Each structure stands twice: as C-alpha cells, then as structure tokens.
Homo-oligomer: A and B are copies of this chain.
Amino acid sequence: MSFNGKDEAVYSGLSHLECSRCATRHDAWVPQNLCSCGGPLLARYDLDAVRAAVTPADIARRPPTMWRYGELLPVSSRHAVVTLGEPMTPLLPLPSLGRDMGLPRLLVKDEAALPTGSFKARGAAVGVSRAAELGVTAIGMPTNGNAGASWSAYAARAGMRSLVVMPVDAPQICRAECALAGAELYLVDGLISDAGRIARSAVRRRGWFEAATMREPYRVEGKKTMALEIVEQLGWRLPDVIVYPTGGGVGLVGIAKALAELAVLGWVSGPSPRLVAVQSSGCAPIVRAFAAGAAEAAPWEGAHTVAFGLTVPSTIGDRLVLDAVRRSGGTALAVDDSATVAEQARCLRRDGVLPCPEGAAALAAVRVLRAEGWLDAQEQVVVLNTGSALKYQHTLLPVEAPLLAADEEIT
C-alpha cells in the first residue's frame, strides 16, 4: 500500500529456517512444514545485516502498517506482499479499569482494528504472502474461526485456493467469512485438534500446502509484529509485562521471538518483559503444564470455554510457549468464564473498549495477578485484545431495554 506518496522498497533479512527442537537448518526458499524430528521450524534472520541496513528512525518514516518491519519479516520484498491494509493497531491506556484493578499504567493492544477483525490477520498476511512467493497455489488448515476467516480472505486476495476445517461450535459468522471468501469449508463435530487431523489428511492426499499453526513456519513471523508495534509505540522501550490469551500460543512465541531479535539488534535494552499466558479454566493445558514444571502440555479433556479461541486442547507449540513464559520470568494462569464475561462489560463501561472474550480473559487474569501481588502497582502491563467482540455476539446478548411505540415518550 502506498502511503504519503512514499513507495519505499524494504527487503527481508531472512537467512534460513531452523528447527526449534534439534536446530537442524532448513532451506527457507521452498515450502516447509515440520522438521523430520517433528519440531516446528522458526525463521532466522541475518540480524547483523538488518542492523546495518535500517534503524528505528528509518522505520518511523515508513507507512504505519506491520510491513514497516520488513527486514524482520520473511517476505522477500514489498512487491511480494499480499495485504488487506493492516493498520498499526492502537496501544491504548485503560485508565479507569486500571485504577479499578490497582494498575494505573494498564494498556491494551487492540487488535480488532485489523482486517477480518482479529490478530489472525497478521499471521495470514505473512503466511499467505510467503506461500504465494514460494509458488504455493492451494492451502489447507484447521481453525477455531478467526484464523480461518483471515487465511480465507488473504488467500482470496492472492488468488490461492483454500480448505478450512472448523469445529461446529465455532462462531457461525466465521463460517460465512470462509465460505464467502471461496474457501472449501468443512465443519467437524469435534474440537480444533480433530479439525487439524482432518485438514492434514486432506492436504496430504491433495498435495496442498498445510498452513496449520506452527506447522507452517511464517505465521509466527506475522504475530511477531504485535511486539514490534508495542515496543515502537512505547518509544522503543519495553513494558514490564505482556499478557496474552493463549490458545495455540503462536502469538506468545512470536512476541518472545520479536523481543529476542530486538535485543540482538540493540534496539532495546533493559529487562525483557515477563510474559503471561492466560487460558480458560475450561481449557488450560499450558497452565497445567506450567504449574507442574513440565516441558510439554498433555491434551486437555472436555475442553469448553466462552472464549472460543482458547478452546485448543493441545498445541504443537507447547514446548515453545512454556519455554518462552519460563525464560521471561512470567507465569501462566486460567480464569473462569464468569470472570471473563464480567471483565468484558467492565472494560467497555469504564474505558469504552469492548474486548473479545479472549482479551477479556486476559484482563481478568491481570486483575487476579494484581490482587495476588504478582503484579506491582507501578508496573506497565500490556494486554493483548486479540480481536473484535462482534464475532462472539452470544456473550453479549440478549440485552433488555424498554420498547416504545413510535409516538411514545420516555417517562
């Protein structure tokens, strides 16, 4: 997207892919999924070259989209970018809710502003752009709703075929977003883990590219830009804590990866933020594993929560998520749906921001952490609101209000 008449070329500093388990190096110039050892692959950059090529002051002059961090993204040039016009999302104080919690410096990163209404657009924009430039013409994936909506839309933009498998309990509107975008849509009477098996089997038989979370190496690079934007919006300073509602957890992995890259670049200094993984008490595999000191998370049985994006009973990124939280000195905790729904309304009432249930769960967790003293009153805490509340209307409806006749008066 051109902006302010500028049309600056930005090149990627991508070097190769590296297995997050066994460190085997893989070619980044062919489509890749997992390592032969089963580990997810991560993109590695020539950060010395990036440091020599660009400065934060250069970035400040670029268009206000996630693509301003192009050197730290895997897409080879801006001409290969598939975009729906991703604006930098607001980093907004929540002064009244923060006072109520005893955290006056509470901030929300409001991802509802992104195309398709959620942070999933970041991963889809990078994932589809990269797949397209590597020659992929058809993708398949499971979703809890928002990711399918995003990937379908970006695939449509790229002229790419898509196949999406979605739990039947996912928000109905996400079905429409996928199907109307031209995706081949299947519903499954099960959870995202079931959808994942079905999608994987289908794409293998067809020879399509599997774009599932962490099985595709570039989605995490898109999610990384959440942290890049937060740090830039704070004037290239680090917050004390970042709180992330954790389903598959790829966003948390991306945030940790971005913070590590920024430290190597020397663009930030000081202690890295503690990372907090928030789940629902109805589906908390990461929280359980964190508490047990385990390196991996066993699948959660009978998963159910109003924050549907958190209904992820198992994730292939479990080791990376747990490692990121622990290395940062962070924590993991689960909240009840009742606390989530209450926090959703409280945030709107106090500060004018209506978070999605996942974001509200993260806010509810912050309240708990402050009450327990894990958070200090003066800490700067950034909560990710991962998307628009409009996809989850059942958590907000019905609403009681007086019904007047057309010629009636308010008494």
B contact residues around A388 at 8 Å (CB): 117, 388, 390
Query: Is A369's beta carbon under 8 Å from chain B?
Result: no
Cβ contact within 8 Å between B117 and A390: yes
Closest approach, in angstroms, between the C-beta of A97 and any C-beta of chain B?
Answer: 11
Query: Is A398's beta carbon under 8 Å from chain B?
Result: yes
Closest approach, in angstroms, between the C-beta of A354 and any C-beta of chain B?
Answer: 6
Query: Is A268's beta carbon under 8 Å from chain B?
Result: no
Closest approach, in angstroms, between the C-beta of A315 and any C-beta of chain B?
Answer: 18
Cβ contact within 8 Å between B349 and A189: no
Query: Is A180's beta carbon under 8 Å from chain B?
Result: yes
Q: Is the interface of A mostly helix, strand, loop or mixed?
A: mixed
Nearest residue (CB) in B for A124 is B352
Closest approach, in angstroms, between the C-beta of A144 and any C-beta of chain B?
Answer: 15
Q: A60-B4, A409-B202 are in contact. Are A180 and B352 (CB under 8 A)?
A: no
Q: What are the interface flags for A315-359 relative to B under an 8 Å C-beta threshold, 1 for contact and 0 otherwise?
A: 000000000000000000000000000001100111111100000
Cβ contact within 8 Å between B173 and A397: yes
B contact residues around A409 at 8 Å (CB): 198, 201-202
Q: Could you say which of A165, A188, A354, A408 has the most chain B C-beta atoms within 10 Å of its C-beta?
A: A354
CB contacts under 8 Å to B, within A379-411, are: 388, 390-391, 393, 396-410
Cβ contact within 8 Å between A397 and B345: no
Q: Which of B88, B186, B401 contacts A410 (CB 8 A)?
A: B186
By Cβ-Cβ distance, the 4 closest A-B pairs, closest first, are A85-B90, A190-B406, A5-B235, A157-B352
Cβ contact within 8 Å between A84 and B353: yes
Cβ contact within 8 Å between B172 and A398: yes
Q: A179-B401, A198-B410 are in contact. Are A156 and B117 (CB under 8 A)?
A: no
Closest approach, in angstroms, between the C-beta of A170 and any C-beta of chain B?
Answer: 11
Nearest residue (CB) in B for A154 is B352
> What are 26 pairs between A and B in contact, CB < 8 Å?
A1-B90, A4-B60, A4-B232, A64-B88, A84-B90, A85-B89, A85-B90, A87-B90, A112-B117, A113-B115, A115-B352, A116-B354, A153-B353, A156-B349, A168-B403, A172-B398, A175-B399, A176-B393, A179-B399, A180-B354, A180-B399, A181-B349, A186-B403, A189-B405, A189-B406, A388-B390
Q: Which of B85, B117, B177 contacts A92 (CB 8 A)?
A: B85
Closest approach, in angstroms, between the C-beta of A123 and any C-beta of chain B?
Answer: 15
Cβ contact within 8 Å between B172 and A393: yes
Cβ contact within 8 Å between A91 and B1: yes
B contact residues around A3 at 8 Å (CB): 233
Cβ contact within 8 Å between A172 and B235: no
Once the chains are docked, how many angstroms separate the CA of A409 from the CA of B182?
A: 21
B contact residues around A350 at 8 Å (CB): 156
Cβ contact within 8 Å between B401 and A175: yes
> Which residues from chain A sit less than 8 Å from chain B, CB to CB?
1-5, 60, 64, 83-92, 96, 110, 112-117, 153-157, 159, 163, 165, 168, 172-173, 175-177, 179-182, 185-191, 194, 198, 201-202, 232-233, 235-236, 344-345, 348-354, 388, 390-391, 393, 396-410
B contact residues around A194 at 8 Å (CB): 406-407
Cβ contact within 8 Å between B85 and A110: yes
B contact residues around A397 at 8 Å (CB): 172-173, 175-176
B contact residues around A115 at 8 Å (CB): 90, 110, 112-113, 352-353
Q: A4-B232, A175-B401, A393-B393 are in contact. Are A92 and B87 (CB under 8 A)?
A: no
Once the chains are docked, how many angstroms separate the CA of A213 from the CA of B54?
A: 47
Closest approach, in angstroms, between the C-beta of A236 and any C-beta of chain B?
Answer: 7
Nearest residue (CB) in B for A401 is B185
B contact residues around A393 at 8 Å (CB): 172-173, 176, 393
B contact residues around A402 at 8 Å (CB): 186-187
Once the chains are docked, how many angstroms separate the CA of A117 from the CA of B388?
A: 8
